[in-house]
């Protein structure tokens, strides 16, 4: 049997320090049943985030990053969705089998969520203040007046000027950046342990994005909150995240600290992704390195590595069997056959990456 | 790049009436020229008027005032029915590859339509031309019989590019051609556009909000803010020494994909947001957010001045 294949492959990643982990997802598999067939959207994702940590999940559209986080919030539409297997442990508690009713006490209270599009995330028929107060009344059992006061405080926390006036306005009276601040205020209202931000700045202009990132960073430093950031913007990742998980076609292909993933990227996909964006701080090159082809169809996921068809270093084994994960550094893991110990050039890779040999 | 001017716009304005007394100044007195085989990048945030500028320059919108001179001929007031030659020489590539392709037409029909309108080929020659264009943008001849919904975003954008190239244009205005695409696909499309531009000697206006992509593809870059060009300069010059405070802020706001740099970089985000382009007050449009604002900025409008050779900036800091 090929090492790394089969169901036990993630078990050796178990870490004795797991009590410092706030969220741990193991071997999560989610499918969607459509008329055209079963879409294998998430195919065995394992990832974890430590208390007060910041994890970025990076990947392109359709890689399963949003579906994974929806499952954490128990927001997966079932049907058509189906959680096939896996475990999601949050604060020592298994969420996968939690009833919808029990989940309501976690969602909004222990885990806050910031969505990409602040217009759809907010209710257009309610004032912003009422929307913040609502969560406080529900989860904190506050009285209406107290909740309103706290709502105004929350708007001040996210640096909305004239907070008491703004609280009694409707979302359409807010600009895009202000709406995103209001969403952050709602997510933070109950003082959650974890914030999940799904593409929080994608719909914003770059100068407004800078303001929101600054705010998130300040809040993180001040409140010590744990944040999971879902994004495709590598610049945003570099700014916010201390740890990164790179996803491709429903799987995590590489995970490590920001420095490891950016400077010693071990997976060919990560490397190609980083080279395909031009950088403002470096002289321009004549040609961008582009990744040929498109991601695979998840109706019929390839049996081997999903990136193999687009990979410059692909070998026969990549097409037939999925790889790893292999440990290539402290907390740095990659799912790529290049790192198998039967690769005669593997030590060169370690030298180039400055990684550790095992 | 050659010295002859391909397209020149002079004091171009486009106002939209949005109420009884309200006028939206989308493009407010923009002048520039694009030389033959040159790529001019236009950057700015949403609402700065870059898309309107592209559409007015392509005569898809009627300008409120100003002039558009293409290949030495003033096309500002030419009637639509006499514009066929201009439409053949100047084509557009649109932002949204889902909205800009008719879902009920096959790819072959989409690319063939401009060939028919301009009577460039018929019969076997027409089919060959369509197949050649598909090959040019990295698709296969078999794709001609399929419908747009069978393609991914990146492939659709290639179809849009093939359609623009079908009439053998000299000039292309590409309005955010990559912003709806995934990162790994963006590079493919940008490389394709660069290659086509060089091989076919095309002139280009490349409109985008992504500074790093614009810098990568453009010879010169124009930065827009609320309907006006605030700085225009050769690509490397504007990135090495941005002069207008807005250009500087825009560059500082762009996060760099390197954690070592991001961690030590000073982050001083601009305060406030872009003000409304409806009935704008006098003075510099950026004054309300500018970190270096002076009294004069609220009273008078700055004009574009050449500070170094080819580097124009409109700001009172440089007068």
Q: What pLDDT is recorded for position A352? A: 64
Domains of chain B by residue range = 5-318
Flag whether pLDDT at A17 surpasses 60.
no
Phi, psi of A177 (to 5 degrees): -65, -40
The reply to whether B256 touches chain A by the CB within 8 Å rule is: yes
> Out of B182, B236, B253, whose CB is closest to A206?
B253
Structure tokens at A261: 């993933």
Task: Please determine, for residue A151, whether its predicted confidence score (pLDDT) is greater than 70.
Answer: yes
Q: Is the pLDDT of residue A14 over 60?
A: no
Q: Does domain B5-318 have CATH number 3.30.1380.20?
A: no
Out of B257, B259, B273, name the one closest to residue A279 (CB). Answer: B257
The yes-or-no verdict on residue A43 having pLDDT over 60 is yes
Least confident of A7-11, A97-101, B1-5, B55-59: A7-11
Q: Average pLDDT for residues A71-82, to the nearest whole number?
A: 88
Question: In terms of CA atoms, which chain B residue is nearest residue A263?
Answer: B258
Q: Which residues of A touch B252 (CB under 8 A)?
A: 210
Q: Is the pLDDT of residue A7 over 50?
A: no
What strands lie across the sheet with B73-74, from one edge to the other? B23-35, B5-17, B65-70, B73-74
Q: Which of B187, B216, B262 sits opposite A239 (nearest CB)?
A: B262
ipTM computed for the complex: 0.81
Predicted confidence (pLDDT) at residue A312 exceeds the cutoff of 50: yes
pLDDT (tens digit per residue) in B197-243: 999 999 999 999 888 889 889 999 999 999 999 999 999 889 889 99
Q: Residue range A162-184: average pLDDT?
A: 88
The residue among A220, A237, A290 with the most chain B CBs within 10 A of its CB, best to mutate, is: A290
Phi, psi of A30 (to 5 degrees): -130, 135
Q: What's the CA gap between A167 and B272, in Å, rounded?
A: 18
Question: Are B177 and B189 contacting, i.e. CB atoms less than 8 angstroms apart?
Answer: yes
Query: ω before A80 within 30° of 0 (cis)?
Result: yes
Please identify among residues 103-132 of chain A the ones whose CB lies closer than 8 Å to any CB of chain B. none
- Taking the CA of residue B191 and the nearest CA in chain A, the distance in Å comes to 6
pLDDT at A121: 82
Q: Cα separations (Å) of B137 from A109, B13, B120, B185, B199? A: 51, 35, 20, 13, 13
Query: In a 10 Å sphere around its CB, with 0-12 CB exposed, 13-18 middle and 19+ buried, how is residue A200 labelled?
Result: buried
User: How high is the pLDDT of residue A350?
Assistant: 66
CB B166 within 8 A of CB B137: no
Distances (CA, A) of B170 to B85, B120, B157: 11, 15, 19
Interface of A with B in 268-327 (CB under 8 A): 272-274, 276-281, 284, 287-292, 294
Q: Label residue A186 exposed, middle or buried (CB < 10 Å: 0-12, 13-18, 19+).
A: buried
Dihedral angle sign, alpha carbons of residues A307, A313, A319, A324: negative
pTM of the model: 0.84
- As a whole number of angstroms, the distance between CA A211 and CA B267 comes to 9
Q: Which residue of A has its CA nearest to B251?
A: A280
Residues of chain B with pLDDT under 50: none
Poorest-confidence range of A238-242, A307-311, B184-188? B184-188
Intra-chain end-to-end CA distance of chain A, in Å: 21
pLDDT band at A209 (very low <50, low <70, confident <90, very high): confident
What pLDDT was estimated at residue A351?
61
CB contact under 8 A, B209 and A206: yes
Q: Quote the pLDDT of residue A4.
A: 41
Q: Chain B contacts of A205, Cβ < 8 Å?
A: 45-46, 209, 274
pLDDT in tens, B55-75: 999 999 999 999 999 999 999
Q: How high is the pLDDT of residue B233? A: 94
- pLDDT at A295 (0 to 100): 85
d(CA B19, CA B245): 33
User: What proportion of chain A, given as a percentage, has pLDDT over 90?
Assistant: 28
pLDDT for residue A353: 60
Contact B45 A236 (CB under 8 A): no
Work out the pLDDT band at A286, boundaries 50, 70, 90. Answer: low
Of A207, A235, A291, the CB nearest to B257: A235
Quick one: pLDDT band at residue A3, thresholds 50, 70, 90? very low
Mean pLDDT over A239-261 rounds to 92
Q: Check residue A6 and give its pLDDT.
A: 41
Q: Which of A228, A148, A150, A144 is nearest to A189 (CA)?
A: A150
Q: Which of A60, A210, A281 sits opposite B269 (nearest CB)?
A: A210
Say whether B252 and A210 touch across the interface (CB within 8 A).
yes
- Other CB atoms within 10 Å distance of the CB of residue A14: 10
pLDDT at B124: 93
Amino acid A2: pLDDT: 45
Q: Output the DSSP codes for chain B.
A: --SSEEEEEEEEEEEEE-SSS-EEEEEEEEEEEEETT-EEEEE--TTSSHHHHHHHHTTSS--SEEEEEETTEE-TT--GGG-HHHHHHEEEE-S-TTTSS-TTS-HHHHHHHHHHHTT---HHHHHHHHHHHHHHTT--GGGGGS-GGGS-HHHHHHHHHHHHHTT--SEEEEESTTTTS-HHHHHHHHHHHHHHHHHHT-EEEEEES-HHHHHHH-SEEEEEETTEEEEEEEHHHHHHS--SHHHHHHHHHS--S-HHHHHHS---PPPS-PPPSBSPPSS-TTTTT-TT--HHHHHS----EEEETTEEE--GGG-
| Among A16-30, A208-222, B231-245, B265-279, the range of highest mean pLDDT | B231-245
Question: Cα(A310)–Cα(A59) distance, rounded to whole angstroms?
Answer: 15
**Strand B203-208 to B90-93 pairing:** unpaired
* φ/ψ of residue B10, rounded to 5: -125, 120
Q: Binning pLDDT at 50, 70 and 90, where does residue A356 land?
A: very low
Number of other residues whose CB lies within 10 A of the CB of residue A28 = 25
Task: Give A46 or B266, the one with higher predicted confidence.
Answer: A46
Q: pLDDT band at residue A13, thresholds of 50, 70 and 90?
A: very low
- Specify whether the CB–CB gap between B210 and A235 falls below 8 A: no
Bridge partners of A88, per DSSP, are A25
Nearest CA in chain A to B258: A238
């Amino acid at each position: 049997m090929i090492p790394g294949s089969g169901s036990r492959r993630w078990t050796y990643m178990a870490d004795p320090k797991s009590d410092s982990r706030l969220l741990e997802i193991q071997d999560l598999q989610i499918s969607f049943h459509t008329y055209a067939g079963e879409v294998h959207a998430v195919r065995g994702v394992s990832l974890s985030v430590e208390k007060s940590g910041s994890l970025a999940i990076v990947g392109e559209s359709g890689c399963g990053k949003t579906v994974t986080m929806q499952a954490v919030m128990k927001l997966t539409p079932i049907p058509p969705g189906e959680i096939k297997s896996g475990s999601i442990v949050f604060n020592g508690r298994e969420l996968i089998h939690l009833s919808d009713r029990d989940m309501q006490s976690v969602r909004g209270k222990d885990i806050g969520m910031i969505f990409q599009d602040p217009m759809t995330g907010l209710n257009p028929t309610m004032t912003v203040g009422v929307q913040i107060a609502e969560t406080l009344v529900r989860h904190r059992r506050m009285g209406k007046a107290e909740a309103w006061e706290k709502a105004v405080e929350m708007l001040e926390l996210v640096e909305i000027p004239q907070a008491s006036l703004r609280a009694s306005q409707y979302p359409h009276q807010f600009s895009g950046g202000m709406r995103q601040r209001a969403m952050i205020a709602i997510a933070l209202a109950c003082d959650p342990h974890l914030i999940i931000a799904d593409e929080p700045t994608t719909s914003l202009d770059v100068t407004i994005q800078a303001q929101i990132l600054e705010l998130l960073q300040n809040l993180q430093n001040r409140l010590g909150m744990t944040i999971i950031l879902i994004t495709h913007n590598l610049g945003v990742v570099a700014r916010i995240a201390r740890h990164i998980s790179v996803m491709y076609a429903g799987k995590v292909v590489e995970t490590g600290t920001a420095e490891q993933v950016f400077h010693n990227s071990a997976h060919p996909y990560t490397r190609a992704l980083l080279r395909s964006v031009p950088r403002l701080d470096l002289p321009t090159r004549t040609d961008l390195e582009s990744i040929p082809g498109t991601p695979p169809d998840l109706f019929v996921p390839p049996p081997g590595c999903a990136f193999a068809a687009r990979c410059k270093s692909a070998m026969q084994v990549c097409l037939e069997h999925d790889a790893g994960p292999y440990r290539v550094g402290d907390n740095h893991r990659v799912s790529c056959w290049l790192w198998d110990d039967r690769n005669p050039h593997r030590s060169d890779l370690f030298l180039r990456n400055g990684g550790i040999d095992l | 790049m050659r010295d002859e001017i391909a397209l020149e716009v002079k004091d171009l304005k486009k106002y939209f009436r949005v109420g009884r007394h309200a006028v939206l100044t989308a493009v407010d007195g923009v002048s520039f020229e694009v030389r033959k085989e040159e790529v001019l990048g236009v950057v700015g945030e949403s609402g700065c008027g870059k898309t309107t500028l592209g559409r007015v320059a392509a005569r898809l919108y009627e300008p409120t005032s100003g002039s558009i001179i293409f290949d030495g001929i003033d096309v500002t007031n030419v009637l639509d029915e006499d514009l066929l030659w201009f439409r053949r020489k100047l084509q557009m590539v649109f932002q949204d590859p889902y909205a800009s392709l008719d879902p009920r037409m096959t790819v072959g029909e989409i690319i063939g339509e401009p060939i028919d309108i301009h009577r460039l080929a018929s019969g076997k020659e027409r089919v060959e031309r369509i197949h050649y264009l598909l090959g040019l943008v990295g698709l296969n001849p078999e794709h001609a019989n399929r419908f747009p919904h069978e393609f991914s975003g990146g492939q659709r954008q290639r179809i849009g590019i093939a359609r623009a190239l079908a009439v053998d244009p000299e000039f292309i205005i590409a309005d955010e051609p990559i912003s709806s695409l995934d990162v790994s696909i963006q590079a493919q499309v940008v490389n394709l556009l660069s290659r086509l531009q060089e091989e076919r000697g095309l002139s280009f206006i490349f409109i985008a909000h992504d500074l790093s992509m614009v810098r990568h593809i453009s010879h010169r870059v124009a930065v827009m803010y609320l309907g006006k060009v605030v700085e225009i300069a050769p690509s490397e010059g504007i990135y090495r020494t941005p002069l207008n405070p807005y250009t500087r802020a825009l560059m500082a706001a762009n996060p760099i994909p390197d954690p070592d740099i991001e961690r030590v970089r000073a982050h001083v985000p601009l305060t406030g947001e872009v003000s409304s382009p409806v009935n704008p007050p006098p003075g510099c449009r950026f004054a309300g957010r500018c970190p270096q604002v002076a009294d004069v900025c609220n009273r008078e409008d700055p004009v574009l001045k050449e500070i170094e050779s080819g580097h124009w900036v409109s700001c009172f800091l440089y007068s």
